[in-house]
């Protein structure tokens, strides 16, 4: 997978409990656009969640997408491949916060 723009890591936290919810990798042209993609494509309600965006290097993002669990399963799931939205899975059972 090659990035059309810049990769951004997006962390999502519950606004009220401050509990971590999920982490996404988003191919975007700006951090503002990454937030908009998070809200629209990943169905995150900005009234209930804090969204933190950090620009990543292309090599760091590529490595993140290539990581696998010992079972051979990918450590991410594709939310929207055409728009470059991927979710990090923290364990083979899936994201415990979903």
Mean pLDDT calculated for residue range 40-65: 93
Residue 5's pLDDT band, with cuts at 50, 70 and 90, is very high
Q: Which pLDDT score, from 0 to 100, does residue 1 have?
A: 61
CA 89 centroid distance within chain: 9
Are 14 and 63 a contacting pair, CB within 8 Å?
no
CA 73 centroid distance within chain: 17
* pLDDT, mean over the chain: 88
Measured in degrees and rounded to the nearest 5, phi and psi for residue 83 equal -100, 5
């Amino acid at each position: 997978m090659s990035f059309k723009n810049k990769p951004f890591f997006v962390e999502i936290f519950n606004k009220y409990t401050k509990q971590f919810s999920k982490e996404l990798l988003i191919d975007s042209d700006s951090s503002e656009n990454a937030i908009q993609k998070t809200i629209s494509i990943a169905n995150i309600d900005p009234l209930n969640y804090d969204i933190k965006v950090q620009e990543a290097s292309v090599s760091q993002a590529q490595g993140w997408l290539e990581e696998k669990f010992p079972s051979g399963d990918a450590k991410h799931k594709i939310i929207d491949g055409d728009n470059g939205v991927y979710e990090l899975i923290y364990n083979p059972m899936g994201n415990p916060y979903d």
